[in-house]
Chain A
Amino acid sequence: MKNMEELINITPFDKGNPFRVPENYFEEFPDKIMERIHETKIKDVKPGYFLRKFLYPAAAVAAIIVFTLFVINYGNENLNVNDLAENQTDTADAASSFVKENYIIEAITIDEKDTIEGDDIINYLVDDNINENLIADAF
């Protein structure tokens, strides 16, 4: 407090406010700020609106495409959704299941047809030092 008294003693001015504001500033400010707040509220809502309008439908379309590709892909191998579910839940009994054995055999056959060439068989026999006599002995 001593400092303030000293300051008042050495300065010949009152503490009145020397600043002014434009006319009606304080009368108009509350409405202006509420307007800006309203704009801010709209901006804040926009991401949600964007999600609803574009992102969710886009996600739904993507899910449908993925599902369709999945079904087509497995459909070519004579598998349907039920088969897949059965495979997943009943893996332990897969070997004993006639239906599944057929699928396995079919899958192996398709694989061999698609991937194993005559040269591959010869290369395998040469690499492992297997000759025709050994094969004949085996049978």
Chain B
Amino acid sequence: MQVRDDADILKDIAVLQLRDKAFNELVKKYQGRLYWHIRKITVSHDDANDVMQNTFIKIWKNIDSFHGESKLYTWLYRIATNESITFLNSKKRFVHPNIDEVNNDMIARLESDSYFDGNEAQLKLQQAILRLPDKQRIVFNMRYFDEISYEDMSEILETSVGALKASFHHAVKKVEEFVKNN
């Protein structure tokens, strides 16, 4: 099936009779990108799946408020990122009030995750990334793995380009240090 432009899909979403079908098309088009973005933040598949569902429900409820001021994909990423951060914060609040415990828990889960089959080097990199503060981790993943431009990241994270560059720089330094020492 041919993948249609965002504008065509959005046009159909605005028509009540075509809304469900067009939204389904939007889910199919963006589910992969959003899932991997969320998965790198939440680490486990089960958590990523929960956040994915919340993300698309939020997108469904708010799609009428998207008027094309930004790119659709940056708008979708912003919702996915916010939902992921909300998820992490609620986990910290109710499960592990100590941030180190959250990170240690995520590292332990990664090591025993049946849906993680990276080699030793990839595991080491993920361990290093999971030791970063949340915001730096998100910036690192978006820049390093997804290769999203700073300008788009700035729209998604509502942070200045300068601050994002600084954040990425610090993240890289920390990752390098961990990889060298372990």
Contact = CB atoms under 8 A, between A and B. Distances in A.
A11 B125 contact: yes
B116 A30 contact: no
B53 A36 contact: yes
Contact of A26 (B32, B115, B116): B32
Contact of A37 (B23, B116, B118): B23
B53 A20 contact: no
B45 A22 contact: yes
A33 B56 contact: yes
Contacts of A18: 116-119, 122-123, 126
A87 B167 CA distance: 78
Contacts of B143: 4
Contacts of B39: 19
Chain B interface bracket (under 10, 10 to 19, 20 to 34, 35 or more)? 35 or more
B1 interface: no
A42 B123 CA distance: 44
A7 B57 contact: no
A115 interface: no
Given A4-B172, A19-B116, A26 B31 contact: yes
Nearest to A15: B145
A36 B115 contact: no
Most buried by B among A16, A18, A19, A40: A19
A116 interface: no
Interface stretch (B71-79, B84-92, B174-182): B174-182
28 contacts: A3-B169, A3-B172, A4-B144, A4-B172, A6-B172, A6-B176, A7-B175, A7-B176, A17-B145, A18-B118, A18-B119, A20-B115, A20-B116, A20-B117, A21-B35, A22-B45, A22-B115, A26-B32, A26-B35, A29-B35, A29-B52, A30-B31, A33-B53, A33-B56, A34-B24, A34-B27, A37-B56, A40-B57
